[in-house]
Structure 1
């Protein structure tokens, strides 16, 4: 069943909100409950972190010619029928137009939306041409060069070529920066010569079922640079990027790659990225390539694809672009865009009464049912509750319940009105009023979502009745703040103070920033005051008012305001104990302007407000780090110096983009049908940082997973865990290169006489030692998660030494053992231990 965007969006958003709640734990029950309500976990559509979702319905593309018809017309090779998926009997109208234009050697620009089959527009005629060359026993040489702006897109195309060309005897290759130089460096599984497409598919399925991520290379894939350069071994289809293509034409060792190249086709994907200087340089590169291969502009068929480059109202602009870019005459350029089928709803539209039960509950049941094992029963129940009618499955329909649902919804008034309203992206809140007018009754957001979810699984002739497209803009917490509407009780806002000021009519509200201890969850507030100092016994500094009392005026940090850490109460103590805490001092704050006063002040010296002031406690800081929390007052967790920066034991309720993106990406991959995801950033630096951060964290969690598998409910030693993982990695070079690249860089595996295995085992032992010596306040790890329990050899209640000292200390042996274990745990988590094989925590002094 295809991915349901309604279910998918709801899952991703809900999981992300749960992550936000767990990432910033608040121990105070009241604040924690406020945060849950602000995040709106029960109704994810109401959360302030989500903009949208915006929904539209993707239109069905117009059917073109049947594949068999194109074969009969000799436009496609007969064998292509066996390569195209069996459920594809015809191509879309725009695909047919592009295929015919490319067959006629016309320069073609394909501008269709995502998921419209742009790739098939050029891939089918190129493969067809290569099959003809194979039948003619044509000499080796590159026939088609496919250029992509990103390696990720080229790799995605490579996977598609593997599944299409395995067993076809058509060589293909990808030449990018990480392409191995020699055959010895090629990682993954190589299929034997003369293996079939079925052999490739079976091997790939076997590897994936075993959880192996190894690449499976068909015999037709040319994997190394040295093989691509070998005369007679050049690929027919070459995937690359602009930078590598320029290098191929520059370096002497790569000349053989383009010797005897036919250069029948030249394809540029995402052509809109080749604009400005880059476009001009690429246009020169195209001319250099043709000149190098000795081909005229009329010989090479040029193709460009993009979702935005063709303007239907101004097609000449695209033709002129192609003329300049490819160096061809504009009259020979064909522009292709989508062609849609006309929507056909039933002539008899049946008005629908409101749903019989709670629509919000029905939405939950429907989304859960679509993920259950018995989807048919769940859909039938949801349809009956939604419409009051029974979904009758006709025995004459070949599509079963999905076709029956299609026919039933096609005559449904609400479904028809929704389809009409969603021709363009609409936010649900703006859509409801239109539906109410066209339907003659109130239609809730939940009811509309149920219709969209059911419409997505109503399929007839391989065509869903509705193809919902969801666009959601989600962000992390931009900066948690609190306000004090009444008394001393804080109100949590998951929006920064600046954003909150724009949203509220009354901007004159004091909004200190909210922090939480990373160990115990004790909450703190942060504000900035003029000339405030609390490093002695009592707060000092400030200004003198006309009445003779002193005060500390609110002053922004950018204007020289001094940092002040505050709290209203300690979650681990009662109110009296908080009052007597030696590291705090009471300070009264104006709830409007944030000016600080001595306790008991009734009139604000900053803004003149006579409102009751907020009584909080300022936290004393040290002279070395004024204004910074040196240790948590509740649990004692200490801050530490990180180079020139001091890291407090508390963190602000503010999202970290790199971790938020990582969590979103993991969830999207987990629930997606195709496990491939592209992330886009504003610049290369952000992309490099995001990729490195995600790769490093994914590696840590994968190593933890291997450690947990090595233990698996039995008692094992550190060496046994390292040996188990080492054996796993020895049998899987691809996984080994990903998880322990340091070892591979230090010593190669082949021809080193076992040195690689020794270094690998040492490296893994160090990783196990790092895992079992995590600090006691660390929340991420096998021990904090309860996946492992560390026991100490020879420390048991029956040991003679335990029995002896238990009698002398008048303790039971079990009590003494627990105490010794606790002491050893404390020392271990402080990394006060030695390991004879990996003494990484040992220090020696002369």
Structure 2
């Protein structure tokens, strides 16, 4: 197998975790390592099978925006954004067009499509276009500040991701979006967004000292102190490409104003409001937050101007509606859902508006696909959004899966036996040579030497999508995870597993390279790998245990890699097995009340005993036929494996049930092979 193949990657990771854990747990005890080798290599102990999953492919509509039934001004903006690569696509998915049309029909939306299906666009396009529609058709209303849209997220990581998207789409980068606004009406303000979470600088009243600290932090994190203009510009472009560069009309002027302690350093042409004080003075049109912060904003005095400005916006025009977007809606179940449902009702009460003046968009990738569940889903949506079930206005939008074309061409996996996967991951020339070789083997029309990388991607797409094994692979893995071995067997059922897996590795290497002319990847896939560590090593304390599988003279019974039972099948107690890594010496971990009178019982678990005399003892297992000399503080004894009783003298009967041990009850021998360590439970 190739060092670059999926199978080899899986095997390499398995070996790495195996080597690490056997070294960590077994140290220099080769006999113990060999004893556990079979169990460790068995599937389910340290790892499970690898699974392949691909995103679902959805039906797209060529030039869908032009045929979309939405207001002309909104269509005009979205067409401009599509032509200028501002987050709108020339060939959008059908469910994205359905979301736009349902939104402008006044519906609440519940969008349930798979991961990577463009759910974010299903609410961003209506959100942005509705803002510009208000700006162009109701300028008096537009000039009144207020929250037009609330984007509610369950965690800050999702908030940060959304901020990055908005920076790229309607931000100040390259001024593409703002050029459209200026061309339409230069006298009106630009839309603005802001993130209001616990990470938004900074809480409390305006303080010049904190403004100065913020300005210094921004200069440092955004490389604005860089003396080399070229490196400074490179850093800016890199941060912008990642959505990490604040969307200010003039960021350096903003930072200078912060440092000077100005109360409102915002430029009217800023797309983004960065600080809490900016938003408290100039209410953002788009508020991105989480439910905890929204809860605080409802009651704290410092944010009340935000709500007052929003109230004025509602009073300005009766047609104004708040757009409330709840992403990852499936997370709001049970008590969390009840809290958010009550929070939404409080928002309506705070603004003094009825439910009819709010339009909701809920999105999720985790709603069951069965149509029979739709009534329950509507009930959930209504309860969450303060809607009476009898008056529900929700439009459920599910993605329509793309159909694969005909006719199909089959091929034998044998033709890939000499294909080098290393070259597929090599330089451009090597990759092209391998792809040409694959094309010849499959009978494809040969590549022209003058083709661009994009042409090669399209060539792969057009040929692979008509291949039966590729279509079988797509049908198997789209929207669900299937084990690597099962995929190989089902895609190439007539071949042996080695040949089938090699052919599958080649397909998994070239199919993600294939792109359609609309930039859709043929097989956007991911590999799921499952690993876990050991919770400990345990051993039967019966040296003559008939259940043991090892042949080495370890002096213990059956070895277990997890704590499954209190006793072995032979009837003996099971204790955790400890290994001194430097020399390989074995110990049983037991618990004992040191000052108890009479027979001492060795517990195999700490239990709930609360006593300073109840201590953890490490019992050194004396190997057979070994001579030793006790050191100061050490004790010699025999542990009855069936009863757990520790005796100070050799057993007269049933000697086979006893384990000879050495242990320490003094504090003087710390660091020796046997030691006492007190545990307080």
**Both structures adopt the same fold (TM-score exceeding 0.5):** yes
Structure 2 residue 385 is the aligned partner of structure 1 residue 326: yes
Structure 2 residue 404 is the aligned partner of structure 1 residue 343: yes
Structure 2 residue 358 is the aligned partner of structure 1 residue 300: yes
Which residue does 2:576 correspond to in 1?
A: 513
Aligned equivalents of 2:219, 2:300: Cα separation in 1: 28
SS at match of 2:195: strand
Which residue does 2:303 correspond to in 1?
A: 254
Q: Are the aligned partners of 1:267 and 1:304 in contact in 2 as well (CA < 8 Å)? A: yes
Superposed CA offset, 1:551-576 (max 9, x none):
x8986665999855345689xxxx99
Structure 2 residue 163 is the aligned partner of structure 1 residue 158: yes
Which residue does 2:154 correspond to in 1?
A: 149
Which residue does 1:633 correspond to in 2?
A: 673
Q: Are the aligned partners of 1:57 and 1:422 in contact in 2 as well (CA < 8 Å)? A: yes
Q: Are the aligned partners of 1:95 and 1:120 in contact in 2 as well (CA < 8 Å)? A: yes
Q: Are the aligned partners of 2:111 and 2:119 in contact in 1 as well (CA < 8 Å)? A: yes
SS at match of 1:91: coil
Higher RCO (CA 8 Å, separation ≥ 6 residues): 2
Q: Are the aligned partners of 2:535 and 2:561 in contact in 1 as well (CA < 8 Å)? A: yes
Written as runs of structure 1 = structure 2, the 5 A alignment for 1:563-642 is: 565-567=618-620, 579-580=628-629, 582=631, 604=654, 618-623=661-666, 630-633=670-673
Which residue does 1:496 correspond to in 2?
A: 562
SS at match of 1:304: strand
Aligned equivalents of 1:464, 1:556: Cα separation in 2: 55
Aligned equivalents of 1:215, 1:12: Cα separation in 2: 33
Change (3 A) 1:586 1:622: closer
Q: CA deviation at 1:267?
A: 0.9
Among 46, 51, 66, the residue aligned to 1:49: 46
Change (3 A) 1:645 1:388: farther
Change (3 A) 1:513 1:328: closer
Aligned equivalents of 1:499, 1:55: Cα separation in 2: 35
Q: Are the aligned partners of 1:397 and 1:403 in contact in 2 as well (CA < 8 Å)? A: no
Change (3 A) 1:82 1:559: same
Q: Are the aligned partners of 1:35 and 1:492 in contact in 2 as well (CA < 8 Å)? A: no
Which residue does 1:764 correspond to in 2?
A: none
Change (3 A) 1:477 1:394: same
Q: Are the aligned partners of 2:297 and 2:303 in contact in 1 as well (CA < 8 Å)? A: yes
Aligned equivalents of 2:557, 2:462: Cα separation in 1: 51
Aligned equivalents of 1:18, 1:269: Cα separation in 2: 42
Q: CA deviation at 1:312?
A: 4.4
Which residue does 1:655 correspond to in 2?
A: none
Q: Are the aligned partners of 1:54 and 1:426 in contact in 2 as well (CA < 8 Å)? A: yes
Q: CA deviation at 1:177?
A: 2.6
SS at match of 1:52: coil
Which residue does 1:716 correspond to in 2?
A: none
Q: CA deviation at 1:9?
A: 7.2
Which residue does 1:814 correspond to in 2?
A: none
Change (3 A) 1:226 1:559: closer
- Greater mean alpha carbon deviation, residues 588-597 or residues 418-427: 588-597
Among 51, 58, 61, the residue aligned to 1:61: 58
Aligned equivalents of 1:633, 1:534: Cα separation in 2: 22
Which residue does 1:218 correspond to in 2?
A: 247
C-alpha RMSD over aligned residues: 5.1
Q: Are the aligned partners of 2:111 and 2:398 in contact in 1 as well (CA < 8 Å)? A: yes
Change (3 A) 1:460 1:566: farther
Aligned equivalents of 1:134, 1:221: Cα separation in 2: 18
Aligned equivalents of 2:438, 2:575: Cα separation in 1: 48
Written as runs of structure 1 = structure 2, the 5 A alignment for 1:285-434 is: 285-309=343-367, 312-314=370-372, 315-328=374-387, 330-344=391-405, 346-353=407-414, 356=417, 366=421, 372-374=425-427, 377=430, 394-395=447-448, 399-407=454-462, 409-410=464-465, 412=467, 414-422=469-477, 424-428=480-484, 434=490
Aligned equivalents of 1:511, 1:386: Cα separation in 2: 61
Q: Are the aligned partners of 2:52 and 2:481 in contact in 1 as well (CA < 8 Å)? A: yes
Q: Are the aligned partners of 1:26 and 1:523 in contact in 2 as well (CA < 8 Å)? A: no
Q: CA deviation at 1:306?
A: 1.8
TM-score, normalization: structure 1? 0.57
Aligned equivalents of 2:531, 2:404: Cα separation in 1: 32
Superposed CA offset, 1:43-76 (max 9, x none):
xx95722233333443211113536525995444
Written as runs of structure 1 = structure 2, the 5 A alignment for 1:767-786 is: none
Q: CA deviation at 1:126?
A: 1.0
Q: Are the aligned partners of 2:56 and 2:401 in contact in 1 as well (CA < 8 Å)? A: yes
Q: List gaps (5 residues or longer) in structure 2.
A: 173-177, 179-189, 225-229, 249-270, 314-320, 540-547
Q: Are the aligned partners of 2:667 and 2:676 in contact in 1 as well (CA < 8 Å)? A: no
Change (3 A) 1:286 1:542: closer
Superposed CA offset, 1:635-672 (max 9, x none):
xxx9988xx769xxxxxxxxxxxxxxxxxxxxxxxxxx
Which residue does 2:187 correspond to in 1?
A: none
Change (3 A) 1:418 1:67: closer
Change (3 A) 1:86 1:333: closer
Q: CA deviation at 1:111?
A: 1.3
Among 464, 475, 497, the residue aligned to 2:521: 464
Superposed CA offset, 1:176-220 (max 9, x none):
2332134716464379xxx9xxxxx9979616979xx99632213
Aligned equivalents of 2:557, 2:436: Cα separation in 1: 42
Q: List gaps (5 residues or longer) in structure 1.
A: 196-200, 544-551, 608-612, 647-846
Q: CA deviation at 1:621?
A: 1.2
Q: Are the aligned partners of 1:55 and 1:428 in contact in 2 as well (CA < 8 Å)? A: yes
Which residue does 1:241 correspond to in 2?
A: 290
- Greater mean alpha carbon deviation, residues 262-271 or residues 19-28: 19-28
Which residue does 2:195 correspond to in 1?
A: 174
Q: Are the aligned partners of 1:171 and 1:222 in contact in 2 as well (CA < 8 Å)? A: yes
TM-score, normalization: structure 2? 0.69
